[in-house]
Amino acid sequence: MYRRQTLRPAIIERSHQLIDAFVDPSGGPGKVELMAAFASPLPLSAISQLLAVPEEDEADIYQWMHGFKLAVQMLPLDDKQMKVANDSMSALDTYFRQLVARRRSESVDDLVNKMIADTDDGLYMELNRSWSIDDKRLNFQFGTEIAYEIKNGKMGRMIKNATYTGITPQFWGSCDAICNANHWRVWGTPNCGKGQPSQVAHTGHGTAAARFRNVRVGVIR
């Protein structure tokens, strides 16, 4: 389980490494493209550590992500760009499937229970039941089928139809613990909920159990 305070020193160290690379070894004034040299690789490095990606693989993932951006930018692509986009998506899919399979084959600590044991007062929620989110993807409310009260590190009474709501950037900023790749699972839904009339497109993403602080919770009546 990674905590923000645990990850912070590694992010600071990586930031220093990227900034040190700005220096022109010849002693000249030098120039740097900040997005490519710092703003893009730093978040990738942080996410890679959360997913337990080896540091030596980060360069490949960065290159594949650049190709992936071509596929999602909604602009016309020529044949060469299309090949780069398809190859990059295929490489990312293959890499993370192999990474997850490798992690699952290793010994697994029960990090979910460790996270619960480290929580004084909270709710453990499972199984999405309903969702509501505005057009800007800013305000949201999600309902779950079942939840369990957590008191002093132990699961207690069951709660039916629990909900959580919030503001997207504040919600993700409150995340302070995430289980590792051994606990990663793919979840999805048969439709994306967009369009008038509603279009049908299978959607999904992978995630591991995580903890969020100071979230507004309730119950569907």
Q: How far apart (Å, rounded) are the C-alpha atoms in residues 177 and 210?
A: 6
CA distance readout (Å), 116 to 55, 180, 191: 29, 15, 32
Nearest-angstrom CA–CA distance, 198 and 176: 36
Within the chain, residue ranges assigned H as helices are: 4-20, 34, 41-50, 58-72, 79-105, 111-117, 168-173
Residue 216: which residues within 8 A CB-CB, separation 6 or more? Answer: 164, 165, 166
The span from the CA of 9 to the CA of 105, in Å, is 29
Question: Model confidence over 177-206: pLDDT tens digits?
Answer: 888 877 888 777 767 767 777 667 777 788
Buried b (16+ CB within 10 A) or exposed e, 59-86: eebeebeebbebeeeeeeeeeeeeebbe
Tens-place pLDDT, residues 43-65? 888 888 777 788 888 889 888 98
The two structure tokens encoding residue 173: 């900023």
Which of the four pLDDT bands, split at 50, 70 and 90, describes residue 28? low
Alpha carbons 59 and 111: distance in angstroms, whole number: 29
Whether 1 has a pLDDT exceeding 60, the answer reads: no
Please give the pLDDT value at position 155: 87
Taking alpha carbons only, the member of 39, 36, 50 closest to residue 7 is 50
The percent helix, strand, coil of the chain (3-state, each to 5) is 45, 30, 30
- The reported pTM is 0.54
pLDDT one-digit tens code per residue, 105-162: 665 567 888 889 999 999 999 888 888 888 888 999 999 988 999 999 988 888 888 9
As a whole number of angstroms, the distance between CA 103 and CA 59 comes to 21
Give the start-to-end residue ranges of the domains of the chain: 2-105, 111-219
Mean pLDDT on 59-82: 85
Q: Which residue has the higher pLDDT, 211 or 37?
A: 211
| Mean pLDDT, rounded, for 85-107 | 80
- Strand partners of residue 130: 143
Positive/negative CA dihedral, 66, 71, 72, 75 = positive
Whole-number pLDDT of residue 169: 93
When pLDDT is cut at 50, 70 and 90, the band that residue 2 belongs to is: low
Which CATH code, of 3.40.50.970, 1.50.10.10, 1.10.3720.10, 1.10.630.10, is assigned to 2-105? 1.10.630.10
pLDDT of residue 65: 87
* Per-residue pLDDT, 138: 92
In this predicted structure, what is the pLDDT of residue 121? 94
